[in-house]
Structure 1
Amino acid sequence: MTLLRRAVLATAVLLTPYATARPAPAAGRRPPGTAPDASTPDPSAADTSVPYVSGRDGYAAYRIPAVVRTPRGTLLAFAEGRRDGPGDTGDIDLAVRRSADGGRTWGPPAVVAAGNGDTRGNPAPVVDPRTGAVVLVSCSNGGAVTEAQIMRGEVPPEQGRRVWVQHSHDDGRHFGAPREITASVKPASWRWYATGPGHAVALTRGPYAGRLVVPADHSTPPPPGSPDTGRESRYYAGHCLVSDDGGRTWGLGFTDDDPDDPDDPDGPAGTVNVNETTAAQLPDGRLYLNARDQGGTVPGNRVDAHSGDGGRTLTRPYAPQPTLADVPVVQGSVLQLDGAGAPLLFSAPSRPTARQALAVWRSTDGGATFTWALTLSDRPAAYSDLVQVDARTAGVLYETGGTGPYETIAFRLLPLAEL
């Protein structure tokens, strides 16, 4: 396909009217921190499509991307459709679009979990390796309550954070109704709760093959005598959900409820507040977890950990990942590529003080260290999710725009040879 034809195709995808449903060449190859490159393409460039545009189909904004590839090769791009604006509170649906051509074009959007005035969000999809079913785990809360109110424990359980699972058995065309699993995965003392966001993990090798693992975070009440102000990031902590029967039943894996104890001899020097988390299974079978550090006092904004028993326990508490020091406070994504010697990838913005310049890093030592590989553009950018499209190509679904990061959710194809 010629460069001109690719550019025309990508532009056509951007301009194609969206149906409402209810029930290239490398760019910006420069290390983070160098001067902006005026030739860096925008999201309508070659090898980029734009499945979600804020302001369309009754949604003021689309946020929080997640993407998986089904056994038939279909890509499913999930996002939150926010009716009231880009904020995290309000009437929010979970939507999906399907692509049968590797992310070059997308079918009409469909609502998979309707808010009906409440907030549905934090999509964490995964494909069950045994059956091929698409399993979607997500969260909800009352549309009129805020995260600060939930953190302060001011809302009744039915309006607080609740956890749900859905299945699709027809390649993502239809999903069953959300089924609540809160009682199985959320202790009564926890307040805030967030799955992912971004794709979850299906373990495919080792003694835990077939297990589904959803990385997540939560908040706990402050200790007696401490202020209960509601935005106390030091009370964020990490955990994961696990299922060994294709998502029918769920339980808790590890929990990291005391991540910010500076006197812990096995912990880092300073505080670590585990927030939005992403995970991948390494070639040796271990689980690698990488998380946003929300207001901690350790250096940088990314922390990580490993599990050698399928997510039941951590080999050590979360600790800073110094080779991702250019990443701001934001969600990120990891993906272990297939094949002997293939690297582990990480995606996130690459400006330490701004959500801008989405980049991809690679690791060849199981997440011990990361090296910059590619910067997509210098434009504003925020949340992202990685997926392997085929043997030669990966893709990244990410928030971006011309003047702000929440104008569109774009999908960019990434030739593996460039990574």
Structure 2
Amino acid sequence: MAHRGVRGESEAPLRRSLAAALTVGLLTAPTGAGIASAATRSGSPCTVSVPYTAGRDGYDTFRIPAVVRTAAGTVLAFAEGRHDGAGDTGDIDVVLRRSADGGCTWGPLTVVAAGHGNTRGNPAPVVDPRSGRVVLLTCFNGGGVTEARIMRGEAAPGLGRRVFVQTSADDGRHFSVPREITGAVKRPGWRWYATGPGHAIALRHGPHAGRLVVPADHSAAPPAGSADTGREARYYGGHALYSDDGGRDWRLGFVDDSYDGRLNVNESGVAELPDGRLYFTARDQNGTASPGGHRLDAYSADGGRTLSRPYAVQPGLDEVPVVQGGVLQPSGRRAPLLFSGPSGHRARRGMALWGSGDAGRTFTRLLTLSSLPAAYSDLVPLGGGRTGILYETGERGPCTRIEFHRVTLPRPQG
């Protein structure tokens, strides 16, 4: 079993330099309640839009945002459309809205993967650079089976967690029927399984350029005869799956399987750093080594097949509670690695954006988008130095709506 430790203190001069470089000239969205318009005043560039609002389009709640920008420049905002309520179990579809103007306005809602009484979710989209097709991975389980029951091994055959892939060849207007790939990417002893949620990536550098990499997590059964039978949560682990042929065939990459309860790798994101390494960030599901819900991270130098070091606590993001987060490496040699998530420490509120100028070793908070309740998020490059943030928020709680904010980062000096 590999030892997974906590890293040392960050370098204060580097953090101060990064903060000074990145907090000048930020275009921030309004921070008050009731943000609903697609644009600011006439003639001004839009900053905030709302693609999903609870209670509309036949759904009780929308959750679990994921976003990509296609080769044609269309922004695709995926979510889970939950018919029965805000809970994670029940009749849940994967839905999509498209924007042709960078997230200012949105087309009609379409259903990409219908639950038909079961649960479809955890969207993890990526654009294949070779074909331009949109590739979408999602998960399935029976609509009456909770995560806790699945982790206890109580799901009937076929109703546990399964993995599917779909593609779109027309800029997200239509998607193929979900095709199951569970046998290629899920080990027989695993119980829970979740892709992302949030965008996956296509590698741009090195010998694996073009590879599609999807971050994921899983749970394993406690060992036979173990006293941990009722403590399945400590058996969470992370892994990656990848495709070298545009999403047709899939393989398992690295697998984090220490299951020691110190660090419980859960919902994950990935970014490709300028030097070609992959940076994985993960939610820690109440591991004993990171009280307060600190983030975990790891690196891969071989396209996600193995980890350069095991997951460790990322102390620079200790304001983030136990929740999924977004990660993005914008293009450009000096562009910072970005992370999005709530900043309320133990409370899901105050969606914020952090930046790292040292490949994820340290992070500095750049801005806070709002003081409202907030939860899951995803990030997308919009071009021209702009970044899009798709996230859950609302006055009465984070499941009220999913907003899209356009943020402009300053151009590097020198």
TM, length-normalised to structure 2: 0.89
Shift of 1:295: 1.3
Partner of 2:136: 136
Partner of 2:321: 328
Deviation by residue 1:98-120 (Cα, 9 ceiling, x = unmatched): 00000000000000000000000
In 1, Cα distance between equivalents of 2:91 and 2:103: 28
Shift of 1:42: 4.2
Deviation by residue 1:335-366 (Cα, 9 ceiling, x = unmatched): 00111200100000001111000000000111
Partner of 1:207: 207
Shift of 1:387: 0.3
Checking the alignment, whether the CA contact within 8 Å between 2:295 and 2:317 is kept in structure 1 is yes
Partner of 1:154: 154
Partner of 2:28: 26
Q: Secondary structure at the match of 1:148?
A: helix
Q: Gaps (5+ residues) in structure 1? A: 1-23, 29-38, 262-270
Shift of 1:293: 0.3
Shift of 1:188: 1.0
Checking the alignment, whether the CA contact within 8 Å between 2:164 and 2:178 is kept in structure 1 is yes
In 2, Cα distance between equivalents of 1:103 and 1:286: 29
Checking the alignment, whether the CA contact within 8 Å between 2:27 and 2:407 is kept in structure 1 is no
In 1, Cα distance between equivalents of 2:27 and 2:272: 30
Q: Where do 1:266-281 residues align within 5 Å?
A: 271-281=262-272
Partner of 1:176: 176
In 2, Cα distance between equivalents of 1:185 and 1:230: 26
Checking the alignment, whether the CA contact within 8 Å between 1:380 and 1:401 is kept in structure 2 is yes
**1:43 alignment partner, one of 21, 32, 35:** 35
Shift of 1:416: 1.4
RMSD: 1.6
In 1, Cα distance between equivalents of 2:230 and 2:196: 21
Q: Gaps (5+ residues) in structure 2? A: 1-25, 41-46
In 1, Cα distance between equivalents of 2:98 and 2:60: 21
Checking the alignment, whether the CA contact within 8 Å between 1:42 and 1:379 is kept in structure 2 is no
**2:275 alignment partner, one of 284, 309, 314:** 284
Q: Secondary structure at the match of 1:233?
A: helix
Letter in 1 for 2:336: P
Count residues with an aligned counterpart: 377
Q: Secondary structure at the match of 2:191?
A: coil
Q: Secondary structure at the match of 2:140?
A: strand
* Runs of 4+ with >2 A deviation: 24-28, 39-46, 224-232
Matched, 1:397 2:390: yes
**1:294 alignment partner, one of 260, 285, 290:** 285
Identity of aligned residues (%): 65
Deviation by residue 1:136-185 (Cα, 9 ceiling, x = unmatched): 00100000111111001111230000000000000000000000000000
Letter in 2 for 1:308: A
Say if 1:41 and 1:338 are closer, same or farther in 2 by CA, change over 3 A: farther
Checking the alignment, whether the CA contact within 8 Å between 1:60 and 1:82 is kept in structure 2 is yes
Partner of 1:249: 249
In 2, Cα distance between equivalents of 1:260 and 1:370: 27
In 1, Cα distance between equivalents of 2:34 and 2:214: 32
Question: Higher relative contact order at CA 8 Å, sep ≥6: structure 1 or structure 2?
Answer: 2
Partner of 2:60: 60
**1:309 alignment partner, one of 278, 281, 302:** 302
In 2, Cα distance between equivalents of 1:113 and 1:76: 15
Partner of 2:406: 413
Q: Secondary structure at the match of 1:368?
A: coil
Shift of 1:40: 3.5
In 2, Cα distance between equivalents of 1:232 and 1:41: 39
Q: Secondary structure at the match of 2:190?
A: coil
Deviates more, 1:341-350 or 1:219-228: 219-228
Checking the alignment, whether the CA contact within 8 Å between 2:139 and 2:194 is kept in structure 1 is yes
Partner of 1:13: none
In 2, Cα distance between equivalents of 1:259 and 1:282: 28
Partner of 2:19: none
